[in-house]
Amino acid sequence: MEIEHLILGEFQTNCYIVRRSKRATDCLIIDAGLDADKIIDFLEAGKLNPLAVILTHGHIDHIAGLEQLRLHYPDLKVYIHKQDAQMLTGEKENLSELMGVSFRTGPANCILTDGQSIELAGIKLKVIHTPGHTPGGICLYSEKDRILFSGDSLFSDSVGRTDFPGGSMSQLVKSIKDNLLTLPAETIVYPGHGPLTSIGRERQTNPFL
C-alpha cells in the first residue's frame, strides 16, 4: 500500500491519499480537510484518479473539502458511517455553525456499518465503528498491510476529544480498548491529527488507556 500524507488547514487535519502501489493511478482519499486545493493539486500533479472519499467522521475539519472535490471530480463517491451521515447536510451537526462558516454538502453516496469491508482501487479496508468522538466515528483497517486509519478516535499518546455534542469519553475508551488495542502490536496507526504511532506503543504509553 502506498500512502501519501497531506496536512490541511488551520486544524492541521491529516488527509491520506491511498493507492495499491506507486504505479497505481486509482486512489482513495481518507478525510477531506479544510484545504481542497492542496488535495486537488497533489492529485493533478501525480495524474491520480480518486475513486472515493472515505470519512472517518463528520466534523467540519474532516469534510470541508468535499464540495470542491465533488465539483472537480463528478464521479467521486463519498462514504461515511450511518450515524454521522447527517453531519454532511447539517451545519450544527458538523460544527461549522459553531466555527462561523456554515458548511454543508450533499448526502453521502455510500453509508457504512461496523464490520463492513470496502474494496476499491485494489485496496481492502475493514470498517471498525469507534463511537465516542462522534456517534458514527470509524477507523479503517487493512489486515493485509497492518495499517489502521484511526481518524479522531486514537492519537499518539492521546484520544479524541469528547466535549462536542454526541461525544462520550467512556464510550470512546471502551471502543478503543475493545476494537483497536486488540489488533496486532505492529499495526501502524495513521491518525486524524498528529504523528503516526502503533498499536503496540499505544498499549504501553497512552495515558488515556
Going residue by residue through the chain, which has 209 residues, state the pLDDT in tens, using 9 for 90 and above.
999 999 998 889 999 999 999 999 999 999 998 889 999 999 999 999 999 999 999 999 999 999 999 999 999 999 999 999 999 998 888 888 877 778 888 999 999 999 999 999 999 999 999 999 999 999 999 999 999 999 999 999 999 999 998 999 999 999 999 999 999 999 999 999 999 999 999 999 999 99
Q: Where are the beta strands (DSSP E) in the chain?
A: 2-8, 13-19, 26-30, 49-54, 77-81, 110-112, 117-120, 123-129, 138-142, 147-151, 154-155, 158-159, 188-191, 197-198
Judging by beta carbons within 10 Å of its beta carbon (0-12, 13-18, 19+), is residue 81 exposed, middle or buried?
buried
CA 17, 12, 33, 188 dihedral sign is positive
- Look up the pTM and report it: 0.96
β-bridge pairing 138-142 and 147-151: antiparallel
Give 134's DSSP letter.
Answer: S
Q: Which residue is associated with the grid cell 479522531?
A: 152
Q: What pLDDT shows up at residue 69?
A: 96
Domains and CATH numbers, the chain: 2-205 (3.60.15.10)
Q: Average per-residue pLDDT in the chain? A: 95
**pLDDT per position as a tens digit, 1-59:** 999 999 998 889 999 999 999 999 999 999 998 889 999 999 999 999 999 999 999 99
